[in-house]
Structure 1
Amino acid sequence: MNITDVSSFNDLLALPVVEQLTGYAGNLLSGLVIIILGFWFSGRISSIIRTRLSRIKSVDATLSPVIASVIRYIILLITFVAGLGSFGIETTSIIAVIGAAGLAVGLALQGTLSNVAAGVMLLFLRPFKVGDWMETGTVSGTVNEIGLFSTIINTFDNIYISVPNSSIWGSIIINHSKYNTRRMDLDIGISYETDLDYAEKTLMALVSDDRVLAEPAPQFLVVAYADSAITVRLRLYANVDSYFPLFWDMMRQIKPALDNAGISIPYPQRDVRLIDPSASNPD
């Protein structure tokens, strides 16, 4: 049929060009619908999975957001391929292009991929988990989230820090929350005139606090004979959750306890002796 022979709307729709355009429009519309629904569905499924996993006690809080994110990206990838397929593009070609593009992107984003690899190692080896107090490099704080690319840490002065996973994996990791108990060493300087047994009795009276663990038993140790004082150490153990409140309370109580017992905390001092040169010369 020639375009000059068109006499009605039905004849117009019967034109080959119009038929092709109509088919393309239908494919485009269906592809857009698939992609839009895929984005919505992936977000919805990710949210449901995260919520369900958070309710399961056997699943660590660290893994829930990561599993949800991985599933979301998988759904988005399938949606993208299906959407392009509805446009009339061969899916085998799409997969080949995605593979080649993935290789090129991988070479260009080696640093980013190293963060992903480090994130996977952190998630499976689990040197720390969400809620732990940890140190890495110059950063110290509570772990808020462990992602594929970075780990979110909140410092004790309420500062938000995002640390690349590769930086954490390549550094020393100190996890203060790994064990339930922690040792506390309090070093105090007392004067040389002090009786050590009396000092021990005075300081050991402070460990009657309920937050001090009975096992391992608290200890009074003499650790050094310094220039101006004898350095003694009060060693005790406490639960991690009560460590710092107990530490500050003990530091506050030590001086009043020594003052009440008449034990002085000496400050550095030096005896200077002057020799008169004329004393050695009777003439």
Structure 2
Amino acid sequence: MGSIESLMDQAPDLLMVYGTRVLLAIVIFIVGRWLAKSVAKGVSKVLVKRQMDQTVVGFVANMVSAVITAFTFIAVLGQLGVQTASLVAVLGAAGLAVGLALQGSLSNFASGVLLVVFRPCKAGDYVEAAGVAGTVEEISIFSTTLVTPDNKRIVAPNSAVMNGVIVNYSAKERRRVDMVVGVSYDADLRQVKEVITDVVTSHELVLKDPEPVIEVLELGASSVDFVVRPWVKTADFWTVRFDLMREIKLRLDQENIGIPYPQMDVHVKALPEQG
């Protein structure tokens, strides 16, 4: 009977202590959740202003929200009297075990973060990466999706993309078209240069600045090789290349300028007659 009366006497003090803790824990939880949403929203706005991909924006915002929420959860448990140090140690050990079991996935995740931070490519870019080439369709947490020119869908692990060489053909506004045109040794080199120059400069998609380079590159085994290097907008690269190759051939034919092909002289020696 006495213990009950003693407990009743201590009830106001216990209610004050634990009630305050519970109230503060609720306040911490509410503030933490608000902070997670606000910071994630702010990060999203900044990334959108920097014209980052929507997939990347969502990825980063979710990561920020998850980290703040985790710290909020630990702070709430600490306020309620839970030994957070022991909890963190247990979670750390569990995380280590999971990490060892999922090394490949964690590597892809880390590479995805690096792709987001350093932005070597973005959705819509045509790239060579992980041994394949195509247009980047999506960069997700664990993989990067490419679409090839013949409309095949390739999903490459982020680690393979980030750990290899990435060639981004869409990163710059202008590209140089490199072509080699071989003509006969009998051709007038000045005339050849004039013809090729006229074809190149007449194309409406060839840029005036920088000026195209048209010069003798090499005296080959069976031809004099001209290098033809006009500059174009990146989006016009293949259109210009196809057009110029066709028009140069047609104009050289009109001017009776030969385009040789490899030839081989075969000498037949008569074998001595056997008696």
| TM-score, structure 2 normalization | 0.71
Aligned to 1:171: 164
Aligned to 1:145: 138
Identity of aligned pairs, percent? 39
Say whether the 8 Å CA contact 1:202–1:258 is kept in structure 2. Answer: yes
Aligned to 2:99: 106
Does residue 1:60 correspond to 2:52, yes or no?
yes
Does residue 1:159 correspond to 2:152, yes or no?
yes
- 1: CA distance between counterparts of 2:120 and 2:107? 18
- 1: CA distance between counterparts of 2:41 and 2:256? 65
- C-alpha displacement of 1:49: 5.7
Residues 94-114 of structure 1, C-alpha deviations (whole Å, 9 max, x = no match) = 655433321210121112111
Aligned partner of residue 161 in structure 1, secondary structure: strand
- C-alpha displacement of 1:271: 3.1
Aligned ranges 1:190-205 → 2 under 5 Å: 190-205=183-198
- Out of 187, 190, 194, the position equivalent to 2:180 is 187
Tell me which amino acid in the other structure corresponds to 1:103: L
Aligned to 2:230: 236
Residues 147-184 of structure 1, C-alpha deviations (whole Å, 9 max, x = no match) = 22111111111121111111112111111112111111
Aligned to 1:263: 257
- 1: CA distance between counterparts of 2:70 and 2:123? 29
- 2: CA distance between counterparts of 1:91 and 1:242? 64
Does residue 1:209 correspond to 2:237, yes or no?
no
Residues 63-118 of structure 1, C-alpha deviations (whole Å, 9 max, x = no match) = 3131244256558868999xxx8xxxx69476554333212101211121111111
Aligned partner of residue 138 in structure 2, secondary structure: strand
- 2: CA distance between counterparts of 1:218 and 1:210? 13
| TM-score, structure 1 normalization | 0.69
Query: How many residue pairs were aligned?
Result: 232
Deviates more, 1:196-205 or 1:110-119: 110-119
Say whether the 8 Å CA contact 1:65–1:147 is kept in structure 2. Answer: no
Aligned to 2:128: 135
Deviates more, 1:182-191 or 1:57-66: 57-66
Aligned partner of residue 143 in structure 1, secondary structure: strand
Query: Gapped runs of 5+ residues in structure 1?
Result: 1-40, 279-283
Tell me which amino acid in the other structure corresponds to 1:225: L
- 2: CA distance between counterparts of 1:57 and 1:248? 38
Residues 73, 156 of structure 1: CA spacing in aligned structure 2 closer, same or farther, 3 A cutoff? farther
Residues 139, 106 of structure 1: CA spacing in aligned structure 2 closer, same or farther, 3 A cutoff? same
Aligned to 2:246: 252
Deviates more, 1:189-198 or 1:162-171: 162-171
Aligned partner of residue 106 in structure 2, secondary structure: helix
- 2: CA distance between counterparts of 1:80 and 1:272? 86
- 2: CA distance between counterparts of 1:176 and 1:265? 31
- 2: CA distance between counterparts of 1:80 and 1:70? 15
Aligned partner of residue 113 in structure 2, secondary structure: helix
